[in-house]
Structures are given as C-alpha cells and as structure tokens.
Homo-oligomer: A and B are copies of this chain.
C-alpha cells in the first residue's frame, strides 16, 4: 500500500537504499517445486549491473544475490523467497553537498516535501539501483514462465537520442553494451555516447520489450487489464515517461479498418493490438515500448533552490550513466515477466475449469 510491494499473487516486496547496507526483495506466492539457485538470477543481474562498459556508471558492484529463504534442496517451497544484495561501492561523500539543494529532474525535492526528510546518499530510495532486486525477482518469473509455457521475454533498444536503431536480430542485443539489435549501428552509438559523456550532458532512449508464447486469457476486463498492469509496471521504472502497447501512439492516425487485427484460421493477420484485446492476452506477442528520459544527474551546472527557498546552482559530480536507458532493457524485461507471471496465477485461480475443444489460433506475427 505504501508502494513497495508489486503484484497481486506473485508479490515482490522491495527494500533498500542506494548507499545503505543492502538492497533486496521478498517474493511471496511463488509456486513450489521450481528448481532455483542463485546462479539462475545472476545472469540478468549481470546484464543490468553498473561498471560493465565505459558507457554506464563506473560504480563497482558485484550485485551478488543471496537467497535467504524459500528454497530447500534446490527447489522452491512455496514460501517467501528473500533475496539479499549487499551494497559494496557506496561513496557517500560524493553526495554530501547536495543535502541542502535539489537536483533538477531528480526526486530530491519531492521526497523532501513528502517525507520532511530524505536520505541523499546516491539518491537513497529513488536510485535506479533499486531495480536490481526486481531484475532478480523477474528472473524467477522468467524461469517459471519459460518452463511452464515456453514464454520468452526479450528486450532491445529502439532509439538513443536521435539515433533510431533498426531491428536486425535478437541475437545481436547481447553482443553490445546498448542492447542494440543491430551490429551495424553500434559504432555510431559508441561515438555518440562518448561525446555525450565528455559533454557532461545526457540523453533519452526508447526501448522495446516483447513476450512470446504468452497463454491466451491473461488479464481482466476492467481495471487489472493486462496492458494496464504493464503500463503501471513500466511507468514505475525510474525515468520512464511513456508507455505504448502494440501500435501505441501510432494508432491515433490509423483507420479502424487497418488497426483492428483480422483473425485467420492460422493466426492474427497483424499485431497492432500488441497482444492484448480488451485487457486480455490474445496469444499474440505482447509488444511494449517505453520512453526513458535523459539521466538527471549531469555535470552541467543548473539552477535550483535551497531548502530555505533561495536560488542556488547545482552540478552533479558523482558517477552516472550518460543514458540511463542503456541499462533499462533487463529491467523492463523483468517487470514484464512479473506482470505476466502474476496474471498467469490469477488466471488459473478463477478459470482453471475453463476447457476449450478448439486450440487457440497460432501467433503469426514474426517477432522481429
């Protein structure tokens, strides 16, 4: 209720601050009998962690996750899975001088107004570091969905600043620092990011996340629509300012005759819906795009005010990403996995007795 628990039945409660002793989460509601080890979660944590290339923050965190509960002899027991990640490289002195002012674009001002006090070290609770436990939790969901339904969840970069990134292949996304699905554009991205870092400024990004082999029937008619819950999950990621499902804002000037995906015996003729109709999954790929704003911590001096309300100037000197969107891909994947997992459990709670004599139509849309 205070906003640190995500999900209805597969619930993840997140805790921690950027420069506190530890961050982590508690996953409640995981089905029992899932083979699970720390190694299963480390892969995505490593994809997200800082310090992996010169294009992201140079903070050094191993992001080693420890499973504190909920697993016995290598299998989940159905009881809460607590995950702990110790903070290692917390240089709090970098932030000592910003306690009395507010960085533009940051949550400094709003936290202070809300709570009357704030932990300024590394952004405290508002740090993107708090997405690490969600990536770990998403790893559990991904594994269960893959083993149960063959569901696959993948993300890639679509645009960094003004550079659009044409989709070439999923394989390429894991071969460069940008999760760019296109080898040819990597050099251009690297050069742009180097310039950005040197200028002390930052830039936004646009990402895409796709879930394939999602069962039909997930979601709800009115409020907990699958796409509404996805929008909630995505907009809740640090720095996200926009969310699209399927055609997204492109539907504004589409005609209905073009937008509505026709149904054919071998599948839908298109996927403008992005895999969701009336809030319920259609069996098509779930297609999501998000806009990530430019990193708020930049080295360029900006105007701000002090806590007393007088004018001042603020300039960030800590270690930051020139484009926070770069590390957002595994985060967005994890959040999508959590939503789908949650709805998979909700679906069988209410509708386990629904049986069809006709199989769902195949997904025809090539994912790419």
Contact = CB atoms under 8 A, between A and B. Distances in A.
A77 to B, nearest CB: 5
B79 A221 contact: yes
Classify chain A: how many residues form its interface, as a range. 35 or more
Copies, count = 4
Interface stretch (A39-47, A56-64, A169-177, A307-315): A307-315
19 contacts: A13-B80, A17-B72, A22-B82, A104-B260, A104-B262, A104-B263, A105-B273, A110-B280, A113-B283, A114-B216, A201-B256, A201-B257, A227-B236, A242-B243, A259-B293, A265-B310, A305-B361, A309-B361, A345-B350
A262 B305 CA distance: 9
A294 B278 CA distance: 14
A285 to B, nearest CB: 14
A113 B360 contact: yes
Name the 5 nearest CB pairs between A and B, nearest first: A107-B278, A3-B220, A105-B260, A202-B256, A3-B224
Contacts of A348: 348-349, 352
Contact of A114 (B69, B227, B280): B280
A1 interface: yes
Contacts of A109: 263, 277, 282
Given A161-B252, A231-B232, A20 B111 contact: no
Nearest to A113: B216
A72 to B, nearest CB: 4
Interface string A99-124: 00011111101110111111101001
A264 B291 CA distance: 27
Given A13-B13, A79-B125, A111-B280, 10 more contacts: A4-B80, A14-B222, A16-B68, A21-B68, A111-B278, A116-B355, A161-B255, A228-B231, A236-B279, A256-B295
